[in-house]
Structure 1
Amino acid sequence: MALQINIDNGGTLTDICIIMDDTVKKTKVLTTPYDLSKCFFEGLQKASGVIYGEQNVARLLEEVDLIRYSTTQGTNAICERKGPRLGLIIDAKARDLPVRLAEHDPEVFEALVGDRVVFLDTAAVTGAEADIEVVKAINQLTAAGANRLVVSFGGGEFLDLETRFKKVVLRKYPRHLLGAVPVLYGSDLTTDRDVVRRTWTALINSFLHPAMEAFLFNAENRLRDYRTKNPLLIFRNDGDASRVAKTVAIKTYSSGPRGGMEGMKTFARLYNMPDVVAIDVGGTTTDIGQCLDGKVAEVQRGHVEGISVSFPLCEIMSAGAGGSSIFKVVNKRIVIGPESVGAVPGPACFGRGGKEATITDASLLSGLFDPKSFFGGGMGLDLDRAATAVSLAIAQPLGISLDDALLQMEHAYEDKIAVELHRFTKLSKDTVMLAFGGAGPLNACGVAEKAGIDRVAVPKLAAVFSAFGIGACDISQRYALVLEERSDAALAAALENLKVKASRDMFAEGFGPGEYEVEAWLVGEVDGAADRVLPLGDSTAFPAELASVKSVELELRAVKSLRRAGDKKASFVQGQPAQADGTRNVLTRGQGRIDVPVYRLAQLNPGDHAAGPAILEEDYFTCRVLDGWSFVISDAGDILLNRKA
């Protein structure tokens, strides 16, 4: 039996997907943001209970073949601006660089760097007074409150300058000293010639690094104590995975949502859907992406919060609205997020000390949740605390009743996600909205109505869909370097250099020569146009069409393929009317509070169908079927919601 555990760590909940041959099971635990390793191992404990009927982590870790991990912590950290204070050292000739950096996102630049910038004459770095000048620059930034530094020089000699700077830092601030300030150099991560992209890449990586490093190495060390036979694999935002020691922090940004995008590709292929947009709604963010003709958009120079960086990234937009996002009234208007109560203290209804109003509290008060069965029956919900939070935060400031406040919260929440859908994706009459994440199906019909979408699909694994999606990833390492000389000989030498690095790293991943594949390509930077990408194949001849471009970068990917080609197909065909499992009194938008049927997904058969208003429920998600919508169950157990013409 092949046993895989996929773990997707979110801001509020951590999802666990267990794959045993062709059987898929799931569970969830609350995220513990103060110590992510705690919820990581609690997830393994619950997974062992699902598999064996009792908690036995030692047995699980002895038998498991692969543990893959993804996280939204990086996404949430930037969205909420939570992280270290960075200091930036740049070339004195580049006085406009902070302004150019801030143009990408003034708020993020202010939160990460602000005025903690030192302009250093590069001549001082190469001169006799280099030690003094470097120390002065570092001391100035640490005195201003910076606890991590980024050094990023421009011009053609940036690599040499940063290497010289690094040697001074190692002499003056040896790493074994407790007071040694962490310094990251732009050239450590990329040789991208664009100084703005390279600097932003270093800043974001430095911002995310401390928390990710502390957790991942702690988790890996605890796994070693159990003598796990295979290392922990970190799922990255490029769609592949690697060991902790071979993963940079920026590659964990949006890795959880990227898992959802991989799941969306599988779902679109299963049902032959050419145009799918995804809303992956977690506790802190809603992540939005699109799959056209079986492909998700990936750009050579990706974007983090709209900021261009040096690495290729999947095009995913994260909106600061989720199940635990804080609602408040500003100037008589409801404002949502980006702040979130997370899992601790959580929404007010969790009874863990939270006092802020969230959509989870509103949904409970509207009657959508059963307080006794929520979260698989593993968490009781407190109606009184939820009512107090919504009354104080929304109803009283707006001077309206509690029920009106609940309806306005729902509309504001759906409006925000619908606006982001239109801003980030291209919708058509054929678009199907795929709603997943623990909070994704709940308001999916309302979001779709406001966005002008008539079909919504909800996977049966919606609650752990991103964790399910990362199960298809390969193990890989990527490399890049700038070609200074444009000739066949230079290309052949550079390619051999990267292949040697790849062989070492893939050996460390557990794969020897012949057990992995290598693919290489050239990226030519063209002024005023998109980068030109040319696969090399078996050739080492420098292509003539790149002879006159601004710069040329050689990129290489070494990959051990783990993906299995999926040729299964499924469909939605109406059969028998669905049988309800009772009723629930729910606040509706046109009829007030009425009793509506509740359908349990586990009790429905392929072809079962019914019309709204209704509730579709599973252990870890609730789907509200609005009036004017109907649902049908596929032969694979997934849900399709249709809006009446």
Structure 2
Amino acid sequence: MSSPHLRVGVDIGGTFTDIVVMDTRTNTTRAHKVLSTPREPAKGMLHGLDELEIAKAIEFLVHGTTAGLNAILSRTGERAALVTTKGFDDVLLLGRAGNKDIWSLSPKRTAPLVDRDDIHTVNERMRYDGSVEMPLDPQEVAALLETLERDGVRSVAVCFLHSHHNPAHELAFKALLQQRLPGISIVLSHQIAPEQGEFERTSTTVATAYVSRTVETYLAALVEELDVRGCAAPLHVMRSSGGICSAELVARQPIQTILSGPAGGVVAAETVARTLGRPNLIAIDMGGTSSDVSLVIDGRMTLSAESEIADTVMKMPVVELHTIGAGGGSIARAEAGGLRVGPLSAGANPGPACYGLGGTKPTVTDAQLLLGRIDPEWFLGGRMGLDVHAAKEAMASLAGELNIDVEAAAAGVLAVANGMMANAIRTLTMRRGIDHRGFSLLAFGGAGPLHGVALAEELGITEVIVPFSTGVLSAWGMLHADIRHDVSAPLGGLANAVEARALVVRTLGQLREEGAKLLLREGVDAAGSSYVASVEMCYAGQTHTVSVRMADPETLLQDFHDTYHQHFGHSMPGAPVELVQMRLAATGRIGAQFLDRDMSSENRPEATRTVTIDGVHCEARIVHRESLGRADVVDGPAIILEAGSTTLVPPGWSARQEKFGTLIIRKAGA
């Protein structure tokens, strides 16, 4: 039997599970899609691997998991208890005291992930500088442990005041807890989020405790199933920061898998930007359930130090995304005399009405089919037929409510969905003060290329990029991600103080050492390791910080003033500056090389079909992407088919297949 030689990336979406297989012997790539199984996410993945019959040939496997995200969204995680310093038991309940629903006099808050009865306190106290004000009382802890044992709690979040400056009490509590309840899951705040901000640190720690057993159980079961199939490759997991790590080390920070799937798409966008020489990209990943918008600026994906999902704040490095409930399966409805799309999705089961699996409500995919943009005989490369009659019946119901015809209803559904995505792009770019008209639009996901040019038209963008294997690009991106571990440590004091430089240098050394140990556990040696440090700083008295990439400790203060001016248009060079937090990304280069594609054509026959675009019936060319050679130009109106997606080229635009098998769609005269 031949030795393992396949690199495999798997992205489990709400509707489809995408699998990308790279053969290291032949330097070829193939893609495969299967319907997702939302109740048992791994089942769809394993089914896809079984269909391909490749388990024994896999040498590298990376997976984007939704286990932690689903646990938070559906509130099905492990019952967790929170143990905190006496007097701080309401931190999680108070939150940030903001009111998101500004028009409501009695707004309703989402309940925290931990019940009020499961929040416990102990008499202990660390000062802001890490010195002990009140020691931990072992007898009081023993009484609390009896309560936890009696309640049957299996996961505990420990968040003591100022523990990020001195974790001694958290470590002592963990030792006593492990001694009394050896099988319990324990999450310490100084290990998960060693940062100032009691609410943010508490919320992140509780969220980690809530999902830890769910993620651990899911991955353990998946590894066991892969082993049964003869897969000897260790399982890697995509992280929210745009890097990957082994499934074994995910247990250290399971919360870092929350944006596992979308992060693969962001890595793919960065890879495409670098290889095509397009440093500034707006990426729109439109799948069956939602659309994710992200940015690549100056060749780098953008990261945020915080994420908020279902009103749960998590302090951790994450790819910066703006997600909306507008995907191919998003359900359209009449509401208050108007047309609404999403966020409810038909998902994989029953799916859009045209899937013929029992769905009866109109979706974005049904609208595309009825307007002629999707070939009902060649969906998923001909592996799945679509029911036009069922789609028409579903859309007719909506049209009747709106008192318009079916075609107008379908066009309205697409217009609303496009408007939602365009607004998401505006939100993300305006937040950074960016003029999106100078960017290229990268459209991918199963549904993205059908909407790409319409979005570009609305936003004043003149170039749309559709990469090869666009329907599975997030899974493809996972194969180009590197091993990454993010570590951080609190700082303190003023940046111009005498001891500030020594503190920065000392902290940097400690974080590099910690990062190097994590990379070594992943099998990455010193030669393949790299480290990027940043420091969060602010003018004294400010609440919000600015992240400054650290090139040299000597120039850190001036770099802050320059960065601040870049963000806000002004700076205050004479004002005192506070050092708040240092972050370090430790990466190990293992990502796949972006290989050019063999552009040999398969000579699939062309056809024509009537397609409705902007209310006009057009005779459009129907072209198979596999039939296009390099430099072939397709003028709109045209439909370009491929196994996992469909690209719409409207009149006034033309598509040209260029290097790496990428379609570049440009507006005439641009």
Taking structure 1 as the reference length, the TM-score comes to 0.82
Question: In the alignment, is residue 217 of structure 1 matched against residue 220 of structure 2?
Answer: yes
Candidates 236, 239, 244, aligned match of 2:239: 236
Change (3 A) 1:56 1:434: closer
SS at match of 2:110: helix
Change (3 A) 1:434 1:81: farther
Residue in 2 aligned with 1:517?
Answer: 529
Question: In the alignment, is residue 346 of structure 1 matched against residue 351 of structure 2?
Answer: yes
Instruction: Say whether the 8 Å CA contact 1:13–1:28 is kept in structure 2.
Output: yes
Residue in 2 aligned with 1:434?
Answer: 442
Instruction: Say whether the 8 Å CA contact 2:441–2:456 is kept in structure 1.
Output: yes
Superposition deviation, residue 330 in structure 1 = 2.4
SS at match of 2:284: strand
Change (3 A) 1:524 1:386: closer
Q: Which moved more, 1:218-227 or 1:86-95?
A: 86-95
After superposition, residues 236-635 of structure 1 pair within 5 angstroms as 236-247=239-250, 248-299=253-304, 301-305=305-309, 309-392=314-397, 394-425=398-429, 426-482=434-490, 505-511=518-524, 514=526, 516-517=528-529, 519=531, 521=533, 523=535, 525-526=537-538, 527=540, 528=542, 530-531=545-546, 533=548, 535=550, 553=581, 555=583, 557-563=585-591, 581-592=606-617, 595-635=619-659
Report the AA paired with residue 455 of structure 2.
Answer: V
Distance 1:413 1:159 in 2: 49
Superposition deviation, residue 71 in structure 1 = 3.7
Superposition deviation, residue 163 in structure 1 = 4.1
Distance 1:558 1:635 in 2: 32
Residue in 1 aligned with 2:113?
Answer: 113
Change (3 A) 1:165 1:551: farther
Superposition deviation, residue 505 in structure 1 = 4.2
Report the AA paired with residue 377 of structure 1.
Answer: G
Report the AA paired with residue 334 of structure 2.
Answer: V
Distance 1:108 1:240 in 2: 36
Question: In the alignment, is residue 126 of structure 1 matched against residue 125 of structure 2?
Answer: no
Change (3 A) 1:460 1:198: same
Superposition deviation, residue 286 in structure 1 = 0.8
Distance 2:637 2:501 in 1: 67
Change (3 A) 1:167 1:639: same
Superposition deviation, residue 19 in structure 1 = 1.7
Report the AA paired with residue 371 of structure 1.
Answer: P
Gaps of 5+ in 1: 50-54, 571-577
Change (3 A) 1:631 1:543: closer
Instruction: Say whether the 8 Å CA contact 1:30–1:39 is kept in structure 2.
Output: yes
Q: Any idea what the Cα deviations from partners look like across 1:152-201, whole Å, max 9, x if unmatched?
A: 343457844544554565466x254xxx6x55443341211222221232
Distance 2:581 2:633 in 1: 54
Q: Give the superposed CA RMSD.
A: 4.0
Distance 2:186 2:588 in 1: 33
Candidates 62, 66, 70, aligned match of 1:68: 62
Distance 2:413 2:109 in 1: 31
SS at match of 2:400: helix
Distance 1:249 1:379 in 2: 36
Instruction: Say whether the 8 Å CA contact 2:285–2:292 is kept in structure 1.
Output: yes
Q: Any idea what the Cα deviations from partners look like across 1:322-363, whole Å, max 9, x if unmatched?
A: 112232222222333333232223222222233333211222
Change (3 A) 1:186 1:371: same
Distance 1:155 1:235 in 2: 31
Change (3 A) 1:589 1:495: closer
Residue in 2 aligned with 1:57?
Answer: 55
- Equivalenced residues, count: 611
Change (3 A) 1:492 1:96: closer
Question: In the alignment, is residue 205 of structure 1 matched against residue 200 of structure 2?
Answer: no
Taking structure 2 as the reference length, the TM-score comes to 0.79
Residue in 2 aligned with 1:574?
Answer: none
Instruction: Say whether the 8 Å CA contact 2:207–2:314 is kept in structure 1.
Output: no
SS at match of 2:391: helix
Instruction: Say whether the 8 Å CA contact 2:91–2:198 is kept in structure 1.
Output: no
Instruction: Say whether the 8 Å CA contact 1:520–1:554 is kept in structure 2.
Output: no
Change (3 A) 1:362 1:276: same
Residue in 1 aligned with 2:93?
Answer: 98
Superposition deviation, residue 245 in structure 1 = 1.5
Distance 1:151 1:235 in 2: 26
Residue in 1 aligned with 2:31?
Answer: 26
Report the AA paired with residue 466 of structure 1.
Answer: S
SS at match of 1:310: strand
Distance 2:604 2:7 in 1: 35
Distance 2:327 2:527 in 1: 42
Q: Which moved more, 1:378-387 or 1:129-138?
A: 129-138
SS at match of 1:441: helix
Report the AA paired with residue 628 of structure 2.
Answer: L
SS at match of 2:94: helix
Residue in 2 aligned with 1:575?
Answer: none
Candidates 161, 178, 181, aligned match of 1:154: 161
Gaps of 5+ in 2: 102-106, 125-135, 494-498, 561-575
Report the AA paired with residue 289 of structure 2.
Answer: T
SS at match of 1:302: strand
Q: Which moved more, 1:99-108 or 1:596-605?
A: 99-108
Distance 1:635 1:361 in 2: 33
Change (3 A) 1:150 1:388: farther
Distance 2:320 2:188 in 1: 26
Identity of aligned residues (%): 27
Superposition deviation, residue 110 in structure 1 = 0.7
Report the AA paired with residue 423 of structure 1.
Answer: T
Distance 1:530 1:491 in 2: 17
Change (3 A) 1:82 1:430: farther
Change (3 A) 1:376 1:220: same
